[in-house]
Chain A
Amino acid sequence: MTVAAPVETAPPRRAEERRAGPLKRIRRSYDQFWYAWAMCAPVVVILALLVGYPLVLGVMYTFTDATSLNVGHTIGVNHIPDTFSWVGLKTYLDILSGPDNQFWPHFWWTIIWTVSCVTVTVSLGLGLAVLLNRQVRGRAFYRLLLVLPWAVPTFVTIFSWRLMLADDGVLNSLTGAIGLGHISWLSDPFWQKIAAIAVNTWVGVPFMMLSMLGGLQAIPAELYEAAEMDGASAWQRFRHVTLPGLRPVSSTLVLLGIIWTFNQFNVIFLLFGANNSDSVQILVTYSYKLFFGQTPMDYARAATVGVLCLSILVVFTEFYRRWIRRMQGAQA
């Protein structure tokens, strides 16, 4: 990862530091910022314990065939010894070659789920933010109303949706009344997916809207005035003033949205349960099921799916970051 700016544009002091050895640089930085180091230390130690250690363990499990049956444990008088063995990349090969049709259907659904959710929440959030950024009567009231879904605890929201989407729920009475017939939102594999995306949109839009609103308010009004003077239409103002002005906010929002949606456990798990809805499970809920939701618990496969999720996100984030940097570079 290259973090430093290109050498020729860097100030001379930076270039000098670059030439010094890493140890020396650390020492210099320590002399200068020892209090910062001291303040960071507890966090670093805790992060290493809470994230680093399990991560390393998890990665190690992916190379074994560990399940709850063969991992050693002692319970009272009973001592069960470790009997799991190293199997190298076998677990990865097993999952990725997919002889049991388990991983790839979940993978493709996770991608579709993430892309559609993020597209819908970001566009809706942007639309609502633009709408609310104008001087309308009762603006504070609308904002409050639109933030409500976000303020309610997620499980309450999702359980109310579960009631509304049920076969004899409000939504089906509505679709029945307007002649669309009866839709099995919570059991038909296709409609399950639509319902999942809709509920996640409901949960995700308020945050997107608030952040976009913040971004919009940071765009100087003079730019709009100038554009208007030049005879720019409303669409042109949106396209050439609003969108570029929002970019620092929106690029972060999209990245966050993708990571959150990819790992959105609550909506899927609470809306459908884990038993009769295999086709709507995303990778994280699938991994959860392998670990906690079945007997014997399959540590190795759950960890492998987890590590695959992590790798996908890390690779994606890196590409996305580069792409954003290139875009910003091109613009400047």
Chain B
Amino acid sequence: MQDIMSSVSEWLLPILVGTILVFGYLRRVPIYSTFVDGAKGGFATAIKLIPHLVAMVVAVTVFSESGAMGILVQLLTPILQWLHVPAEVAPLGLLRPISGQGALAFMVNIFQTKGQGPDSYLGMLASTMQASSDTTLYILTVYFGSVGIRKFRYALKVGLLSDFISVLASVFAVSLLSGMIHV
């Protein structure tokens, strides 16, 4: 079962690309020129994102490099601990919406720590937290930035609150399933 699952994740992308191409060809779509025509839009979209990403990345980098991010995580970790999120992974949950790379580095750090390999309870919890959420701040910046939306309304609140729920849901899911699948 496990072999099948790891193959699935490896094969998924090539199979999907192949299917789209074969399907298009059979439906008599001029696949090459249609691809090129669609791909053209990629350049303009990415260029449009530059100012938005520069603005947000600079702010987040200043915040984390100053040590403010570390202090914030230290302040909030007890709250997460109180909600049964172990102190070892609590910072990951707090980093996840702000910095995808930071959270990923944190997960790897847990994998490397003695007694906390990927298959331990903490390793599974870190993996699940990393996989089940996304970098909310960047998604908002990129999605709204690409069309020039400045008034986000309640979108950030919803994003951050659902990230918080995802962290708690990860603890729940790992506690629930780790007994069943012999982690």
The reply to whether chain A is a binding partner of chain B is: no
B interface, CB within 8 angstroms of A: none
Q: Chain A: residues with CB nearer than 8 A to chain B?
A: none
